[in-house]
């Protein structure tokens, strides 16, 4: 296992989106709407920016609802089926 240079801990391909792999929170819809508005004539560029703002707010609300609904699993329930390396023998008497 190689050490991840950004955090100093090892990570394998565990199927979990880590902060470096997931969306970084940039307002992409609004950015695209502003760029698109630069190409449109007067009344339509305002419509594009307002639509981008509404879409960005909707995306934030939707993302926060998903984050609240899908809590990350931690602890023993997240380890079911995972393999581990034994550090010391467990032989109770």
Residue 70: the pLDDT is 84
What are the mean pLDDT values of the chain's consecutive 10-residue runs (93 residues total)?
Answer: 44 48 71 94 95 95 90 77 83 79
Q: Do the domain assignments include residue 12?
A: no
* Number of domains the chain is built from: 1
Q: What is the DSSP letter of 14?
A: -
Tell me the torsion sign for CA atoms 71, 75, 84, 19.
positive
- Exposed (0-12), middle (13-18) or buried (19+): which is 26, by Cβ within 10 Å? exposed
Residue 77: the pLDDT is 74
Residue 71: CA atoms inside 13 Å, Cβ hemisphere, count?
Answer: 5
Q: Do the domain assignments include residue 33?
A: yes
Q: Do the domain assignments include residue 40?
A: yes
- Distances from the Cα of 81 to the Cα of 46, 76, 78, 84, 91, angstroms: 53, 10, 9, 10, 22
Q: Do the domain assignments include residue 87?
A: no
Structural domain boundaries, residue 37: 28-56
């Amino acid at each position: 296992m190689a050490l991840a240079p950004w955090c100093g801990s090892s990570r394998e391909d565990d199927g979990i989106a880590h902060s470096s792999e997931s969306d970084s929170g940039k307002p992409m819809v609004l950015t695209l709407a502003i760029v698109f508005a630069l190409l449109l004539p007067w009344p339509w560029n305002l419509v594009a920016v307002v639509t981008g703002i509404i879409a960005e707010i909707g995306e934030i609300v939707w993302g926060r609802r998903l984050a609240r609904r899908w809590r990350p699993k931690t602890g023993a329930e997240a380890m079911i089926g995972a393999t581990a390396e034994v550090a010391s023998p467990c032989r109770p008497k």
